[in-house]
Amino acid sequence: MQGNIFICLNRATYKGLIPTELEEAYSRKVYDIDSDLVEVLDTTFEDVAIDNRVKFGNVIELNIADNRYYVIELDCSWLSGEVSALLNLGSALNYPSNCLMTNTEAMELIRDNQDDQDR
């Protein structure tokens, strides 16, 4: 594990676009042959999880109370507003929807909610 934060995303957020504060670090980008940026592509959290499998490992999918959740690991900065943007995703939502967690908290959520066939 190399990131500094975990987030448990509900399905809508996981399939939705990342906040603008995360675009610099996590957006998919297109470059020309001279390595000049041509385009910043719309990027979902699902795209981020796929793109960062080698660095952070696979997304952990959980089924909690008939809702699907996705635990992903990220490396985010307080200084550039990335952590604040992630916190905003969970405002007014109930745990575990879009909840930021430490490594220990994420492992506990996963352990307590793994499907029986995954154990």
pLDDT for residue 79 = 87
Cis peptide bond upstream of 19, omega within 30: no
- Judge whether residue 116 has pLDDT over 50: no
Count of CB atoms situated within 10 Å of the CB of 59 = 19
pTM of the model: 0.86
pLDDT for residue 117 = 40
pLDDT in tens, 32-91: 999 999 999 999 999 999 999 998 889 999 999 999 999 999 988 888 889 999 999 999
Q: Which of 12-21, 52-61, 107-116 shows the lowest mean pLDDT across its residues?
A: 107-116
Contact call for residues 14 and 46 (beta carbons, < 8 A) = yes
Domain residue extents for the chain:
5-118
Per-residue b/e over 2-20, b at no fewer than 16 CB within 10 Å? ebebbbbbbeebbeeebbe
Q: What are phi and psi of 83, to 5 degrees?
A: -65, -40
